Structure formats: C-alpha cells, structure tokens
Amino acid sequence: MRHSCALTALLVASGTCPAQTGIDLYGIVDVGLRAAGGLNANNAPTPSGHTIAVNSGIDQTSRWGIKGQESLGGAWRAVFRLEGGINADTGAQAKSDRLFDRLAWAGLDSPYGQLALGRQPNLLSDALITVDPLGKRFASFNPNINVAGLSNTAFGTHAFGRQYGPSGYADNFYRLDNTVKYTANAGPWQARAAYSAGEVAGDSSASSSHGVALAYQQPDWVVSGATSQFRSRDGLPLDAWTLGAAAKAGAWQFKANAARNKADTGPGKTVTQRVLSAGVSRQAARDVLVTTALYSVRREATGFVDDGFDRAFLFVEKMLAPRTTAYAEADVTAWRGDAAGKTASRANDRHGTGLTLGLMQKF
C-alpha cells in the first residue's frame, strides 16, 4: 500500500519525503487453533497427553515489514527492506532482542544484478524457496527450514551447542548478520554469492560464512541448489549443501529436495545431518489448494546413538479473498533412536500428531 509522506515519516523516522519511488508497509498475520498429541504447545515431544493451543505462523510466518526503493536514474535503484517476526498469539516480537530479526538490509538494483548488505537469510534458505515440498509453510516445524536451512539444529538429546557464522544465536544459522549478498540473473539462470563477516578482531574467518547458489528455471520446472560454509568463533567448520527440483504438470506440482550438513562440534566430535523430502500439490478448485509432503531426517553424532525422525504434512487452503486464506493442517511425526528425548527423566512419546484450523491475512 502507498502511504502519505506523513505516514512514511512516522514509519522510517524521516523528516522529509523527497521524491521517493515508493515505501510500502506489508505483512502477514497467521493464527490457528491447534490440537496435538505427544507434542507440547511449542511442538516439542512430551511424555504423553494432548495439548490445545493457539499458535502463530502455521501456514506462513506472521511478520511485518517496510520496504522501499528510489530511482537513481536509468535502470539503477536504491532499495531497502526491514522485516520482523510476530507471535500473533501473544503480540510479542518473534525475537525479543531484535525488532527486525528476519531482514534488515539496504542495497542497489542495477542491470548487473542486486547487491544487498545487512541481515539476510543464508543461501541455503534462498535455494529452498522454489523446491521445498511445503513451499516453506509451517517454518517452525518444517525440517527443510530447521535442519536443511539450519534454523533449529537442536532436537532430542543433543544439539550443535554453538554459533556458526554471525547469526547471533546458537543452533540457529538461518539468517546471518553482516552479510554482503550479490544476485544476478541471466536468462533462465540465477546465481547468488554471499559473504558474512564474523567481525572478530584479528581473525577474519572466525564466526564468518560464505557460499554460492545457482538455479535454472523454466516455465514448468526449476532446479535449485546451494553450498555454504560456516565457521564458529573458535574456528570449527560447518559445511552444508542443498539441491532440489520442482515441476508442474497441469494442476499438479511436484517437488523434491536433498540436503546435508556436517559440523565439527569439538575435538574429534562431529554432527552430520541429512534431509530427504518430497511432496505434491494440486489445485483442487479455483480457490482450493491441497499440499502433501514427507520429510526424512537422519543424524549421526559422535558419542550419541544415530537418530532422526520422519514427518508428514497435509495442508488444505481455501482462498476467501485476495488477502485472506482459511486453512486446515495435519501432521504426523515418528521419532527415531532417542530423538524424542526426555522430559523430567520420563521418556517422551515416540510419535506426535497435530491438527490445526487457521486463518491467514496479508496486508
């Protein structure tokens, strides 16, 4: 939506409104009523019983943001984007220590590509946009977001237990501070390269990250992949890659992806994670979309029993209006090894189920 100069000034703390091409306020509010068995309100395993909760971001993550652009002449533009997560069930920020935890960058668009500097998603996340079987739905519970994209590497009885790259958090390296990202398009090809500075005095590699991504897209199919390398503050490496494809055939869409990451977590200690995923979507009616997906996660870690989990999803979405969607979601999880963990010395249930009825509104 286009705002007046006064509103723009309020939103971006600017005293003037000089001939800007545009500044937009946008967002998503997604909230649902969820019933779960073997899972608590945060979708972590529990010993037994059922949970009723109001959850945020089941279909798409609740968020708000400001984006803008200004023409610099010719095909050159200055651009920026600020975006923060919202817990719609409580009204709180998704990250209490950051107003704009999702995106905070400025850059230049030109005929030669886009150069952006600031807090941005890692290249694994970028590569998953077009090939994740769920279309990045249910981000907090989606294994491609959490394990392949490194948003939450902690589950079961252990975790990476440290920060790799300048994410600001242990066990979460999905978005990185201090990132320089370049994106270029040439016909059906899209290439990305990124470097995230660790900003550790005297050691330029500590807490840093770098990587490349490449995608080839045609009207009915796409192949997308990325590889990234991360370093901890004490120089331990984490190497990761992801590769997937998607194809359309009439009302059907098929997606599949494979990903792997391996981290040194200490002297003689490593953690290796693998994710295989596949899914199918079908436009069941003009305003109804049905999506199914299956994820298989396996983990090997020094000193621990091999573990992992299998998780299946079903989403049925009905568009009520251009900006409003009602949805029903169901999921089943089967934990392997000791991945379900324990709660107060009690073994958690080895299976979890969930059912959500929700509403998503965009603005």
CATH 2.40.160.10, domain 5-362, yes or no:
yes
Of 203, 198, 274, which Cα lies nearest the Cα of 229?
198
Give the separation between CA 197 and CA 179, rounded to whole angstroms.
7
**Residue given tokens 């009885």 in the structure block:** 157
Question: pLDDT tens track of the chain, all 363 residues?
Answer: 444 444 444 344 444 444 457 999 999 999 999 999 999 999 999 998 899 999 999 999 999 999 999 999 999 999 999 999 999 999 999 999 999 999 999 999 999 999 999 999 999 999 999 999 999 999 999 999 999 999 999 988 888 989 999 999 999 999 999 999 999 999 999 999 999 999 999 999 999 999 999 999 999 999 999 999 999 999 999 999 999 999 999 999 999 999 999 999 999 999 999 999 999 999 999 999 999 999 999 999 999 999 999 999 999 999 999 999 999 999 999 999 999 988 888 889 999 999 999 999 999
Token output for 90: 């409580």
| pTM (predicted TM-score) | 0.91
Domain boundaries along the sequence of the chain = 5-362
**Residue given tokens 């006064």 in the structure block:** 6
Give the separation between CA 210 and CA 188, rounded to whole angstroms.
24
Give the separation between CA 333 and CA 94, rounded to whole angstroms.
25
